[in-house]
A and B are shown apart, each in its own frame.
Chain A
Amino acid sequence: MTNKRITVSNAISGIGFDLVEDAYEAKTDTRKKTLALASLAAAVFLILSVGALLIFHRADKKPDVPPVDGTEETATEYTYMKTYLIGNSQSGSEGEIERKGFYQYLQYEDPDLKGTSRTITFDGKDYVCKYQVTVPQIKLTIVRDRYISEEGCSFLVDRQTGKPTSVNFYYGAPRPESTGTPISEEEARRLADAALEKHVGSLQGYSCSGLSGSASYRSYSFHYGKLIRGIELYECLSASVSFSGEIVSMSFAAKGAFDSYDVEKIISELDLEEIDAACAQKIQGYFKQIPSYIGNEIRKECTERTLAFSPDGKLCLFSQYDCQADFTYTEDDGTVVADTIGRAYEFVTYLE
C-alpha cells in the first residue's frame, strides 16, 4: 500500500465510532420520514384519539441512537420450550433467561498442543504442520485444531477423527499468478466438484450455490448444502477455485454428522407452525421492551432454518427471523420522526 493510501485508510479508520456504528445499524426498508409536528398531531388526533395520548406519552423523547442498545442488534436468542438469551444483558432481568453457551466459536490455545507439530496427509501429500489454535465449530459438537504447514497451508483438523475438515492452501503463502483470461464459472464448478468428490464421495443430495467470483481473490467460491423441505442441514461443503483453476480452499463441515439419523422423517414430523408461534410470542415480548415502539404489527420472516447439534450433542433446529416494526420519536426541535427498527433473532428448538 502506498503511503497516501495508508494515510487515507488510517484516517478513515479513526473517524468517530458513533458514525461507524450508525452506518452499521442502518437497515433495509428504513423509511425515515420527517413529518411536521402539526400535521402528524392532526392525523393522529383524527385517527387514533386515545391512542394518540399513548403515542405522545411514549415517544416524547428522542431515544439514544440507535433506539435500542446496539448489543441487542447482534444478540442471538434461543428457545427450548422457553426462550434463552445469550449475549444481551438487557434481558438478564427475565427470570427464564439463562446463558446456554451455544456459540462456542471461540478460539483458544490448548496448552497440551502448544508448540507441537504433526504431519497431516491430504490428497496423498504430507504436510509438516505446527499447531496454531483450537477452534470449536458453531452449532456443532466438533472441536477442531488449526495447523499451519511450512508451505503456508492452513488445516482445521477434527480432534475426534484426526482428519482435516477444512484446508486453505494459500493461507500464508502467495497464490500463483493468474494473469490470463479467467476460467469460466462452469469450469471452476467442475473442478470444485471433482476436488470435493475425492473427499466425500458422491455429491448426490447436495445443492450448489455458486457465490459470485471475487475479483480481489481472483477466485470463484461454491457452497454445497443439503436442503430438505426448506431446512438446511449443517452438513455442508465449500470450495474456492482460483481464476486460473487451482483449488484454493475446501471445507467439509459436519461430514457424516447426520448419518445415524433419519433426517427425512425427523423433518417431516416437525411442527413448524408451532415453532413459529412460540418464537413469534417471544419476539413480541422483546419488541414490547423497546420504549418507543408504538404497538404496530411486527413484520416477521423466517429467513433460515438449520438442523444442527447443541453443544451437548442433541439434535436441534435453529430458526432465524428478521423482524421489523415502526416507531416514532421526537427530535429536540419538536419534529416527530417516523422510523423503522429491524432486529434478527435466532432460536433453537431441541428435537430430542
Chain B
Amino acid sequence: MTDEKIVELFFARSEDAIKESEKAYGPYLQYIARSILKSDEDANEIVNDTYLKAWNSIPPLKPSPLKPFLGRITRQLAINRLEYLSAGKRGGETLPIDELADVIPDEVSENDLKDAFDRFLRKEPTLSRRIFILRYWYGLNADEIAKKLGVRGSRVNGILFRARKRLREALEKEGFHV
C-alpha cells in the first residue's frame, strides 16, 4: 500500500492505518529502536508507541513520505527512553551523541547544524558516511557496525575519529567556532 493510502487511513481514523504501517515499515522501525536500546522487548514497546504517536499526530499532520516520519519518531522515543533509563547513573553507557557534542560549537541553532551535518556527510566517502550514520543516527557501537559492514572494529573507530576531526574542520570553515 502506498504512503498516501496509509495516510488516508489515518485521516479516516481506521485502525488499518496501524496495520499497514506495520506491514510496510515495522521491521525497519524495530531495527532503529533495537539499535539504540539493545533490547528486543523495549524496542517492541517503542515501535508500538511510535504507532500511537503517529495516530495522535495524523491528522492534522500529513507526512509524505511516511518512512522518515515514523523513523524519526521511533528514534526520538528510543533516545528518550535510553536517557530516562540512564538518568542519574554514573559510569553507564551514554548516548553516542556525546562524542559528537565535543566537536560542535556551543552556540549554534538546530537548523544550521542540521544543514551543516547534511552538507558534511554528502561530501564524506561512502564507508565513512555510513559508519558515521550507523553510529550517530542509529546508535550502533563499533562492534555492531563492524559486523554489519564486514570491517574490523578498530577500523570503525579509526574512521569515526577521523570523520569527527573532519567535521570539526568543516564546521570551522563554515564559520562555526568550537
Binding site for B on A (CB under 8 A): 1, 4-5, 7-17, 19-24, 26-30, 32, 71, 74, 76, 86-87, 89, 103, 105-108, 133, 135, 154, 166, 168, 171, 174-175, 177, 179, 214-218, 221, 238, 240, 249, 251
Contact = CB atoms under 8 A, between A and B. Distances in A.
B126 to A, nearest CB: 7
Interface of B: 1-2, 15, 18-19, 22-28, 31, 37-39, 41, 44-45, 48, 51-52, 65, 67-68, 71-72, 75-76, 79, 82-83, 85-90, 92-93, 95, 97-98, 100-101, 104, 106, 108-111, 113-114, 116-118, 121-122, 126, 129-130, 133-134, 136-138, 147-150
A103 B22 contact: yes
B23 A87 contact: yes
A255 B46 CA distance: 24
Across the A-B interface, the 8 shortest Cβ-Cβ residue pairs: A215-B93, A11-B113, A23-B133, A17-B68, A74-B27, A14-B114, A87-B23, A11-B114
B39 A221 contact: yes
20 contacts: A1-B95, A5-B97, A7-B108, A10-B110, A11-B117, A13-B76, A15-B137, A17-B67, A19-B133, A20-B71, A22-B129, A23-B130, A23-B137, A26-B148, A87-B24, A107-B48, A179-B89, A217-B39, A221-B39, A249-B41
B106 A28 contact: no
A247 to B, nearest CB: 13
B110 A11 contact: yes
A5 B98 contact: yes
B92 A215 contact: yes
Given A12-B117, A177-B88, A20 B126 contact: no
A4 B104 CA distance: 9
Given A21-B67, A106-B22, A215-B92, 12 more contacts: A5-B98, A8-B97, A14-B118, A15-B137, A17-B67, A23-B134, A28-B149, A74-B26, A105-B44, A107-B48, A174-B88, A240-B39
A249 B45 CA distance: 13
A23 B101 CA distance: 21
A28 B147 contact: yes
Contact of A15 (B23, B93, B117): B117
B122 A7 contact: no
Nearest to B129: A19
